A and B are shown apart, each in its own frame.
Chain A
Amino acid sequence: MPSDVDLLKDIEEYRYGWRTPERYVYKAPKGLSEEVVRKISELKGEPEWMLEYRLRALRHFLQRPMPNWGPDLSDLNFDEIVYYVKPTEREGRSWDEIPPEIKETFERLGIPEAEQKFLAGVGAQYESEMVYHRVKEELERLGVIFKSIEDGLRDHPDLFRQYFGTVVPIEDNKFAALNAAVWSGGSFVYIPPGVKVTQPLQAYFRLNAANIGQFERTLIIVDEGAEAHYVEGCTAPMYSTDSLHTGVIEIIVKRGARFRYTTIQNWSTNVYNLVTQRALVYEGATMAWVDANIGSKVTMKYPSCYLLEPSAHCEILSMAFAKSGQTLDNGGKAIHLAPNTSSKIISKSISKGTGRASYRGLIKVARGATGVRANVVCDALLINEHSRSDTYPYMEVEEADVSIGHEASVSKVGEEQLFYLRSRGLSEEEATTMIVAGFIEPVVKELPMEYAIELNRLIQIEMEGSVG
């Protein structure tokens, strides 16, 4: 722990600008430039190829137009964003700076104070470090690599380079290019062949607040026949003063492997959350995305599976709860490129007040991919009169021998349901909360238990004052 004097000194140093990375705080100037990208790479001590990669990504980002579909991003000003902050600067955030409503939510979720500070980015290191060390020993015994993305690049250069950028290329979309240029933080995971990891790998344990980056980058390789579950995010609100979170998650699920990636997203409501999550799925392998979205101002996130070899399987469970002022554009994509591949997408959107939660998804079947089975179910629940939800189910099917199902429903919290529950003694608010909890149950039941309990409690809090 740095003493107060050290902290003061750091702040003093910061005022004078750039310093060497190891000991001093660094914060890039606002806006994006080649200079900023070079500085990030230099501060991280990266190999030349990574610098070249970042610069190539920057060039693509600058010339790529903004997406002409989806939520309104016109308020997003790339020149006003700080693209890199050396971690210690964030650790220096004071508890007093955290908005009272976020503190209150922490209290009500029953999160201990030390943990609250960690989540809010105040404390330096969280006490779960001890727990993590035990988990780490067990993982090392199995040969599992579970590190920060920076350590992955440094400690496993060949493995890293073999896969990095192969799932989500620079040219994929404007925000993927941005991430490739300025990425920082995230996880590097490798599960050796046949290894079955029973406990979920929790980013929560590994990360301190400073690592929960604006431009996180995660690379996960699940080797043949291996099994694991990765959980990122947490139900407690993630307070960020940064207005843009642009992550890229790349996953490779090799032959016969099974992998599940669970996200619980609860960014504060000033954040644009624009994330690219994709998995390559090989023969007989199964990839499952479980994606729960509560926070952010705008979210665009469509976890996807490229089913590359026969009998690969993909499941996407997506949940979004948009309150007034939020636009959550979620969904999923299943790209069937081989015979007998199958996919299942279930989306649950809840819109409250003027909030807008939508489903946007794609099922694509390439020519020659015979015997494909795909099923999409998207349900929307509107809580108030002015709530809104839209469904954009895209299908591109180039093969006749396929079985594709699509069901969509939009419902309002019904007067009859409310009356029924109230006649049993529940208040209108309790009844509405129960209906909402039931609606998202198909997604919540797939979460690890402690997350499921917290998510339900969070929904309860979010529902307060929503009726009457």
Chain B
Amino acid sequence: MAETLAIRNLHARIAEREILKGVNLTLRKGEVHALMGPNGAGKSTLAYVLMGHPAYEVTEGEVIFKGQNILDLAPEERAHLGLFLAFQYPVAVPGVTLANFLRAAINAKRKAQNPDDPGISLIDFQRLLLDKMRLLGLNPEFAGRYLNDGFSGGEKKRAEVLQMALLEPEFAILDETDSGLDIDALRIVAQGINALRGSERGFLIITHYKRILDYIRSDVVHVLVDGRIVESGGPELADRLEAEGYRRWLEPVA
């Protein structure tokens, strides 16, 4: 049976306001799940809470991965376990090159798995980096730029996917990786994601629009409204949402 990341009855709040009100969702390796929902439904909050953002407080529930509740772990420990979040708004770190950052991240993960690991050699790293950059249509010079500093929207999203490609997570959460991309950039990013698909990896793709799902075939689509999963279904659910919107769940039931 494929390994899972199981979210059970997850409640979370920020500044006294409850955003997640009992989310239940199970991701499986080898599958791509899409998470759709209106603005303010809690999609990004779910992504942040799964990764361990310190501003959010989990009040109830658990997230089980590899036999443990990862909500007890620091963000870096979750990363070491194989979790990855592609940010909707990647943060700039001036003065730190993308290449130096990525090498540090790869080495941190290797060290966490084996304290005696001497780290990736510069030559191996460069080969790996150039390889993945080519896949994402990124110029080698891009690796020498400061992390997300002055990147265009499209460059930021491609840099996120590049990081994912190098860190090879077991479960990847992509928070609106499609937003702000023109159609060409979207196609490249989608190609990059598709290239990482496989039985050893599971995805949660958070999106507003069905557009990205035209390029990345999803196995399951979930609808998040007001902090709860209100419906799950096959890829056809995305088409229905595109046609009908979320009104059905937003209007008070008579």
Contact = CB atoms under 8 A, between A and B. Distances in A.
Interface of A: 414-417, 419-428, 430, 434-435, 437-442
Interface stretch (B27-35, B62-70, B90-98): B90-98
Contacts of A426: 76, 104-105, 108
Contacts of B95: 437-442
* Most-contacted residue by chain A among B84, B96, B163 (CB, 10 A): B96
A420 B53 CA distance: 9
B230 interface: no
A416 B76 contact: no
A438 B99 CA distance: 13
A419 B74 CA distance: 10
A414 B92 CA distance: 11
B54 interface: yes
B157 interface: no
Contact of A422 (B76, B87, B90, B163): B76
B96 A437 contact: yes
A421 B53 CA distance: 11
Contacts of A419: 51-54, 75, 91
B51 A425 contact: no
Given A415-B55, A430-B108, A434-B104, A422 B93 contact: no
B152 to A, nearest CB: 18
6 contacts: A415-B54, A417-B91, A419-B53, A423-B51, A425-B79, A428-B74
Given A420-B90, A422-B52, 5 more contacts: A423-B75, A427-B108, A428-B76, A438-B146, A441-B96
B80 interface: yes
Given A420-B87, A430-B108, A438 B76 contact: no
B105 A417 contact: no
Contacts of A437: 95-96
A67 B26 CA distance: 69
Nearest to A433: B104
A411 to B, nearest CB: 10
Interface residues on B, range: 20 to 34
Sort A-B residue pairs by CB-CB distance and give the 4 closest, nearest first: A438-B95, A441-B95, A438-B96, A425-B79
Interface in B172-191: none
B21 interface: no
A425 B94 CA distance: 19
A415 B54 CA distance: 8
A423 B52 CA distance: 8
Nearest to A434: B96
Contacts of A427: 74, 76, 108
A428 B74 CA distance: 9
Contacts of A423: 51-52, 75-76, 78-79, 84-85, 87
Nearest to B80: A425
Contacts of A440: 95
Given A423-B75, A425-B79, A425-B112, A417 B163 contact: no
A365 B229 CA distance: 66
Contacts of A435: 93, 96
Interface string B85-127: 1010011011110000100110011001000000000000000
Interface in B195-221: none
Contacts of A420: 87, 90-91, 93
A440 B101 CA distance: 15
A330 B104 CA distance: 32
B70 to A, nearest CB: 13
Contacts of B46: none
A417 B101 CA distance: 13
A439 B52 CA distance: 26
A438 B105 contact: no
Contact of A424 (B52, B53, B54, B79): B79
Nearest to A417: B91
B220 to A, nearest CB: 24
A430 B105 CA distance: 10
B20 interface: no
Most buried by A among B80, B95, B96: B95
Contacts of B90: 420
B167 interface: yes
B79 A422 contact: yes
Contacts of A415: 54-55
Nearest to A420: B91
In the complex, which of the residues B52, B87, B105, B109 has the most CB atoms of chain A within 10 Å of its own CB atom?
A: B105
A51 to B, nearest CB: 50
A440 B93 CA distance: 12
